[in-house]
Amino acid sequence: MYKILTKEMLSPAICRMKVLAPRVASAARPGQFLIVRVNEHGERIPLTISDYDAEEGSVTIVTQKIGASTKEICALEAGDCFEDVVGPLGLASDFVGMTDEQLKSARYIFVAGGVGTAPVYPQVKYLKAHGAYVDVIIGAKTADLLIYRDEMAAVCDHLYICTDDGSEGFKGMVTALLEKIVVEDGNRYTQAVAIGPMIMMKFTTLTAKKLGLPIVVSLNTLMVDGTGMCGACRVTVAGKTRFACVEGPEFDGYEVDFDEAMRRQGMYRAEELAEDHKCKIR
């Protein structure tokens, strides 16, 4: 059993939990994920690690209420326990393998969309701790859906806020703000990273290509089983079939077939939303 140490609602539909999982925390790296089960008959839910503290033995997860299983997760309170927490899974971000000298000469721009902002945080935190320059764009439909503003501002060089309706920060899409930052403001970056809704990552990649900016995207939203066995996370990258949960979740954005990925993402939508959907394990 894995005890929930703290819980807070970041918005009416998004909750953040700190979970006691010492072995996961000691091995976790930016870009990786874990799988939780609420109870013995619960569905396996892959969630990107949003922070980790090896000394405390805790990992932080952020969950958005979408289907039956994520609603069950968000219904738990501090002091309750998960049946299982398995991880860290997937590959760490490429920059984890870079030296401090390499990172000190790097200039990153992150584009974070919606709940995808949460897994951006440990990446930015790691990069700044190792000397990189990091700017971050956080985008959401409206101001009340923005998360991690204060946390991100504390670990990045410059934070840009973007809302579709203009209720806070730049009014418009994150792609327009990215182009403004690079073209009009004259900022230069060596690497872009986009994490968020698939459609956002697709168009951010197209914008990055227009700007001549290398970009990495995270396909964490494709994962179901989290081990590569179910095949739900299959995606074409550079013309080859890859499995996001064991070979990713991060890939070169230029090489991802986003249209195929979006079709695959919708395959289990009905099951995801079904209130009586249960994983029967004997």
Which domains are present in the chain?
Answer: 2-89 (2.40.30.10), 94-217 (3.40.50.80), 219-268 (no CATH)
Confidence label for 164 from pLDDT (cuts 50, 70 and 90): very high
Average pLDDT, the chain: 90
Asked whether residue 232 carries a pLDDT value surpassing 90, the answer given is no
Within 10 Å of residue 239's Cβ, how many Cβ atoms? Answer: 7
DSSP characters over 77-119:
-TT-EESEEEEEESPPPGGGGS-HHHHHT-EEEEEEEGGGHHH
Provide the pLDDT for residue 220: 82
Decide if pLDDT at 270 tops 80: no
Between CA 127 and CA 135 the distance in angstroms is 11
Name the amino acid, one letter, at 152. M
Characterize the bridge pairing of strands 191-195 and 215-218: parallel
Where residue 272 falls among pLDDT bands split at 50, 70, 90?
low
pLDDT band at 268 (very low <50, low <70, confident <90, very high): low
Q: 111 with 193: CB under 8 angstroms?
A: yes
Alpha carbons 271 and 107: distance in angstroms, whole number: 41
